[in-house]
Structure 1
Amino acid sequence: MSENAISNAVAVRDNGPEALVRQYKEDFTLVLPSHVKGETWMRLAYGALRRDQNLLQVATRNPGSLMNALLECARLGHEPASDSYYLVPFGNEVQGIEGYRGVVERIYRAGAVKVVKAEVIRQNDVFEYDPDMERPVHKVDWFGERGEVVGAYAYGIFQDGSTSRVVVIDRPYIDKVRKESRGSDKPSSPWVKWFDQMVLKTVARRLEPWVPTSTEWRKEQMRAAQQVAAESHTTQLAATPPPVTDPDEVVEGELMDDDTTA
């Protein structure tokens, strides 16, 4: 490699998207939840740019879109360019897309749900559910022809064994969500590359209002518990009468003070 080529490569490295990410390192680490290590997260972000030349080129042309995607990734507590959060070059911008795994991770992270059940329903599956049922009945012939996707469902099982609300979506709803997704018909779209995963993500998103999905929920529960404990302690102190002092000790003390004064 010539000296000029090396100089140009260094200039790109020092002024490109990776340098911009380094510049705003503190901003990213401030947004990251406590369970994510800042240094590890930053290394993954750098690695994503180095591995994917297409991503690097788009990020170089539009660094603002990369920053927006990474900030959203950090806010959600995901690793960049992973199955939880994709960095997708789309036209002249970088799009950050939370994957199905990312939604489920946020549900588990809250600590209230021990199992998340989400499944795609196909034409030849046996599926039964009505609002009076606690959970759906879904039977699948794993070795037969299941047919086209007709819907999906999801629910959570809480730590005490109870079931959250069951969410069911049909194919018209799936198609509506896909149509509203920008560039969903393009070969690079997740709807084209990972259709089943996008369907599962769609139904998991519908489940979100019915289950806790953030570590902030756990922090709020801990804060509330600490506040209740502090209030109980204060109330206990207020209700506790002062200790009874031996009258003889008081008289004796007063006499000693008088003697000293005299």
Structure 2
Amino acid sequence: MALTSLKDRVRAATSDQPTEKTAAMPAVVVEGSTPEELTTAVQAEGGTATDTVMGWLERYGDDFTAALPSHVDVGTFMSAVRAALPSLSRCTPPSLLQALLTCARFGLIPDGRQAVITAEGPFAVFIPMYQGYIELMYRSGRVGSVHVGLIHENDEWSFEPTAPAPQDFVHKPRVDLPKAERGEPILAYAFTWMTSGARSQVVMLSREDAEAIRDEHSKAYQRAQESGQADSFWHRDFNAMWSKSALRRLHKVVPMSAELVALARVDDAGDAGQVQVIHAPTGEERALLVEAEEQHARAEDSQAPEETRPRPVVRKRTQPKRTTRAERRGTRR
């Protein structure tokens, strides 16, 4: 049976099972070859690997447009992709395509801030950064602000969980000190202020806790350790992963949207070496999730105590102006 959908083609191309080749995906891609093989002919004519891979990705322009939310510009997304390609030269085209499509479906830009497309061996992997998680939290409409940070040894800070917010936690970074004098990071934290005015619990994560999460749950880290390559993202940017781990723990104390739950699932799938795009919602699925979440929010508001419910806007009715008998006689004349 022919593989007609892009999801089917990407899933087939990244699996170990032999599949029927399709005209939409070149044979060299289905066989899992490297971009070097894909670009040999063009390079012989003076082309570049980046230009060739970009040209190949542009064949899927309609799929990227369909995957991206309407508020994300396709040109901005593809510009970030082009900038990232030189570091992905040894990744297989199928893994690169599925990582980029996964990133697009969440409406995140692979610019190193919201998300990163990184090479783990011959495979491209989509890694959402903590700024990407924050972006999706804001989109839910229920989170007013998100705060994530690292406390350094010489920063001023206090944490008293039994005190009322916001007196329970204070962090004053010593930005006036040279970087070396601030000391090493000792704690990561995360909390949110909701649009209702309430503040979440402050999540604190020590370096020891972050290392335990890494050692126990990160398959990418374990593979990198076993191979001696030390090239996982935990190796390359420990502080960013530490901060993200603190932010992800907010799901225990803050209501998370279905899209955020899906992002965490995709994040874990990439870390485990699994195909990520099959876990990411399509545009239609995303719209259904948003509608379901809005209905759930309305149901929660209807069950909340009356004094905490959002008050409906009361519009004053305009009464028709009354006229006197003399005015009516004048009008008839």
TM-score in terms of structure 2 length: 0.54
Structure 2 residue 200 is the aligned partner of structure 1 residue 164 = yes
The equivalences for 1:64-79 within 5 A come to: 64-79=94-109
Q: Distance in 2 between matches of 1:158 and 1:67?
A: 36
* Cross-structure match for 2:233: 190
RMSD: 3.5
Deviation, 1:8, is: 4.2
CA distance in 1, matches of 2:80, 2:152: 36
Identical-pair percentage: 29
Change beyond 3 A, Cα 1:161–1:31 = same
Comparing 180-189 with 17-26, which one deviates more in the overlay? 180-189
Q: 2:143 aligns with which of 94, 104, 113?
A: 113
Is the 1:84–1:101 Cα contact (8 Å) retained in structure 2? yes
Paired position in structure 2 for 1:93? 123
Amino acid at match of 1:64: P
Partner of 2:59: 23
Counterpart residue type for residue 100 of structure 1:
Y
Letter in 2 for 1:116: V
Q: Look up the equivalent residue of 2:149 and give its one-letter code.
A: E
Q: Name the CA shift for 1:64/1:124 in 2 (closer, same or farther; >3 Å).
A: same
**Which residue of 2 is the match for residue 134 of structure 1?**
165
Matches within 5 A, 1:1-262: 7-9=44-46, 16-49=52-85, 52=86, 54-55=87-88, 57-59=89-91, 62-125=92-155, 126-130=157-161, 133-135=164-166, 136-140=168-172, 142=174, 143=177, 145-179=181-215, 180-181=217-218, 182-183=220-221, 188-208=231-251, 210-213=254-257, 214=259, 219-220=291-292
CA contact (8 A) 1:113 1:156 kept: yes
Q: Which residue does the alignment assign to 1:250?
A: none
What is the rounded CA distance, in whole Å, between the counterparts of 1:85 and 1:170 in structure 2? 24
CA contact (8 A) 1:69 1:95 kept: yes
User: Counterparts of 2:83 and 2:154 in 1: how far apart (Å)?
Assistant: 43
Shift of 1:162: 1.1
Shift of 1:189: 3.9
Cα distance, 1:85 vs structure 2: 0.8
TM-score scaled by length of structure 1: 0.67
After TM superposition, give the deviation of residue 141 of structure 1 in Å: 5.8
Paired with 2:72 and 2:173, the residues of 1 have a C-alpha distance of: 40
Tell which structure's C-alpha radius of gyration is larger.
1
Displacement after TM superposition at 1:86 (Å): 0.9
**Equivalent residue of 1:58, what SS?**
coil
Q: Where does residue 9 of structure 2 map in the other structure?
A: none
Change (3 A) 1:31 1:140: same
- Counterpart of 1:101, as a letter, is Q
DSSP 3-state at the match of 1:86 = strand
Q: Which moved more, 1:194-203 or 1:120-129?
A: 120-129
What are the ranges of 5 or more consecutive residues in structure 2 without an aligned counterpart? 1-40, 260-285, 299-333
Structure 1, gaps ≥5 residues long: 227-262
Deviation, 1:154, is 1.0
Match of 2:31 in 1: none
Cα displacement (A) at 1:98: 1.1
Cα 1:205/1:7, change in 2 over 3 Å: same
- How far the C-alpha of 1:66 sits from its partner, in A, is 0.8
Contact (CA 8 Å) 1:164, 1:211: kept in 2 or not? Answer: no
How much has 1:115 moved relative to structure 2? 1.3
1:24 alignment partner, SS class = helix
